[in-house]
């Protein structure tokens, strides 16, 4: 009698940009016969249930939840407090969950497939006899930056608390994004001691944890980051990840998707639409929001703009926004959230104005869409460097007097859309991405190695 499908527990860091690639990976594992238990914090679990990510739609992925260690009233947008809470409490909750799962008569959890950013959960799982594989859901170049920190300290670029000691950029290797002193990924909003906590976590805890994992895979592909993967061959690219070719399976969205935008796109001419979306975390102040809105209007092009309910403060004034919407009616469409993968795959889309989150970047690459970059924090500056300087498949907006002006928005969008060199390079990178995940491609072969290990 053949053995039961191996039971794997999948554990993403609790944020939209992490849940999506882990959900995509989970669908691919279910396709290969694995039994998948997908672990979210209670808050995220609730959001997924609200958007219909349940039951049959999940095609065999079982959703379970654990607490995140914070009180209901705590602000989870305060990254320092959030990281502090999950670091202290999550390892215990994961251990309890593994024990409870096995006590309930479920088959034994054979593997924990966890986010590198949750490396503090690895040892507890191993103590219970569960094997560990690590997933880095961002660019290989970003992880290479973490791995290079001891050398940066040795070279006197930063001190052992992550504070810059020199102001010039640090070059890790040719054709890799340089590290900028003012843009280091642990420099998040909040008090210096919070940044210290994040620095400690990433540098020491994650590095130690990565050594506990039997394999380290990453949502990228060889041709996109040849230098990073050459420097750190232990990082195996298996991307760009996607749930299914038809883009029908849920990828764990936190907000309900407005699918009416797909019909609206069907009515637009090919290569005409500017798609504007800044992910799940970015916030604009009212002045910047207004400049962006008027800049989109100035282009005279059709545009699809994702404006989350919490994207800007109420100071903007409902009257102004209502008037703006009536002016652009018929030309622009504003939604609160959308099925981004289907949007980027749509032939009407000409350009993507993006915060440069890694999932957004990979989705644009896979569909051959040029990017106008507007990064916000963390690894988004690394991703901008790939897009603008290394792949040369997009441009970046420039701040003038503390704000990106409407004239800058219009001018850069026209440049990105009209640049034949960008169009050609975007097509070449798209073809390389698709080849890597097709049979015989490097990401395909690495994924085979991953599946073989999990089946051991």
Q: In which band, very low, low, confident or very high, does the pLDDT at 282 lie, cut at 50, 70 and 90?
A: confident
pLDDT at 168: 92
- The mean pLDDT of 307-317, rounded to a whole number, is 76
% of the chain exceeding 90 in pLDDT:
72
In the structure, what pLDDT confidence band is assigned to residue 355 with cuts at 50, 70 and 90?
very high
Any alpha helices (H) in 104-200, and if so which ranges? Answer: 122-127, 140-147, 149-154, 192-200
Dist. CA 220–CA 112, nearest whole Å: 21
pLDDT digits (tens, 9 = 90+) for 17-33: 999 999 999 999 999 99
The pTM of this model reads: 0.94
Mapped onto helix, strand or coil, the DSSP state of residue 373 is: strand
DSSP 164: B
pLDDT at 334: 95
| Under 8 Å between Cβ of 396 and 372 | yes
Q: What are phi and psi of 111, to 5 degrees?
A: -135, 145
Instruction: Specify the pLDDT at position 94.
Output: 97
Please state which of the ranges 24-28, 373-377, 381-385 shows the lowest mean pLDDT.
373-377
Residue pair 26/61 in contact by the 8 Å Cβ criterion? yes
Residue 1 has pLDDT above 60, yes or no: no
Q: Give me 119's structure tokens.
A: 């490396």
Q: What is the pLDDT of residues 109-134, one digit of tens each?
A: 999 999 999 999 999 999 999 999 99
- What are the two backbone dihedrals, phi and then psi, of residue 422, each rounded to the nearest 5 degrees? -60, -45
Q: Quick one: pLDDT band at residue 252, thresholds 50, 70, 90? A: very high
Tell me the pLDDT band of 314, cut-offs 50, 70 and 90: low
Question: Per this entry, what is the length of the chain?
Answer: 456
Domain 7-246+439-455 has CATH 3.40.50.2000: yes
Rounded Cα distance, 229 and 355, in Å: 24
Q: What is the mean pLDDT of residues 351-367?
A: 97
Whole-number Å distance between alpha carbons of 116 and 141: 14
Residues 132 and 212: beta-carbon distance below 8 Å: yes
**Strands 131-136 and 7-11: what pairing?**
unpaired
Over 70: is that where the pLDDT of 315 sits?
no
**pLDDT, tens digit, for every residue of 397-424?**
998 888 999 999 999 999 999 999 999 9
b/e sequence 390-402, b meaning 16+ C-beta within 10 Å:
bbbbbbbbeeeee
If we measure between CA atoms, which residue out of 29, 5, 26 comes closest to residue 448?
A: 29
Residue-range domain boundaries for the chain: 7-246+439-455, 260-418
Structure confidence by residue, pLDDT tens digits, 55-111: 677 888 999 999 988 888 887 777 777 887 888 899 999 999 999 998 998 899 999
Residue 357 to residues 137, 138, 241, 279, 380: CA-CA distances in angstroms? 11, 8, 14, 7, 6
pLDDT value of residue 392: 98
pLDDT given at position 191? 65
Domains 7-246+439-455 and 260-418 belong to one CATH topology: yes
| 192-241 residue pLDDT tens | 666 777 787 777 777 777 889 999 999 999 999 999 999 999 999 999 99
Q: What is the pLDDT of the chain when averaged over all its residues?
A: 91
With 60 as the cut, is the pLDDT of residue 2 above it?
Answer: no
CATH T-level fold of 260-418: Rossmann fold (3.40.50)
> In Å, what is the CA distance from 440 to each residue of 31, 190, 197?
18, 46, 42
């Amino acid at each position: 009698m053949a053995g039961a499908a191996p039971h794997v527990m999948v554990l993403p860091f609790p944020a939209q940009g992490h849940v999506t690639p882990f959900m995509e990976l989970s669908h691919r594992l279910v396709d290969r016969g694995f039994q998948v238990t997908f672990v979210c914090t209670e808050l995220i679990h609730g959001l997924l249930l609200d958007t219909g990510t349940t039951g049959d739609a999940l095609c065999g992925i079982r959703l379970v939840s654990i607490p995140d260690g914070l009180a209901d009233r705590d602000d989870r947008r305060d990254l320092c407090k959030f990281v502090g809470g999950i670091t202290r409490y999550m390892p215990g909750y994961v251990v309890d969950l593994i024990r409870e799962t096995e006590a309930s008569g479920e088959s034994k959890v054979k593997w924990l497939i966890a986010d590198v950013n949750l490396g503090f959960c690895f040892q507890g799982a191993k103590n219970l006899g569960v094997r560990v594989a690590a997933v880095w859901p961002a660019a290989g170049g970003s992880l290479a930056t973490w791995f290079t920190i001891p050398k940066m300290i040795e070279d006197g670029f930063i001190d052992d608390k992550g504070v810059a000691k020199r102001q010039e950029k640090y070059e890790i290797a040719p054709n890799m994004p340089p590290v900028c002193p003012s843009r280091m990924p642990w420099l998040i909003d909040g008090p210096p001691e919070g940044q210290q906590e994040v620095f400690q976590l990433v540098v020491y805890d994650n590095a130690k944890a990565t050594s506990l994992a039997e394999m380290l895979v990453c949502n990228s592909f060889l041709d996109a980051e040849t230098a990073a993967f050459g420097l750190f061959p232990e990082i195996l690219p298996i991307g760009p990840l996607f749930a299914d070719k038809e883009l029908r399976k849920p990828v764990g969205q936190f907000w309900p998707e407005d699918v009416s935008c797909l019909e609206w796109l069907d009515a637009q001419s090919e290569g005409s639409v500017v798609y504007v979306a800044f992910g799940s975390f970015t916030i604009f102040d009212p002045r910047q929001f207004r400049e962006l809105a008027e800049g989109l209007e100035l282009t005279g092009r059709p545009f699809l703009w994702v404006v989350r309910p919490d994207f800007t403060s109420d100071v903007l004034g409902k009257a102004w926004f209502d008037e703006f919407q009536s002016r652009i009616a018929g030309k622009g469409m504003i939604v609160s959230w959308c099925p981004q993968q289907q949007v980027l795959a749509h032939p009407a889309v000409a350009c993507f104005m993006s915060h440069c989150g890694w999932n957004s970047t990979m989705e644009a690459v896979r569909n051959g869409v040029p990017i106008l970059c507007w990064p916000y924090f963390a690894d988004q500056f690394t991703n901008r460097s790939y897009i603008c300087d290394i792949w040369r498949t997009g441009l970046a907006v420039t701040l003038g007097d503390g704000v990106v002006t409407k004239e800058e928005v219009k001018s850069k969008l026209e440049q990105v859309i009209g640049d034949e060199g960008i169009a050609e390079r975007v097509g070449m990178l798209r073809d390389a991405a698709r080849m890597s995940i097709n049979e015989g491609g490097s990401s395909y072969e690495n994924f085979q190695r991953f599946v073989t290990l999990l089946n051991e």
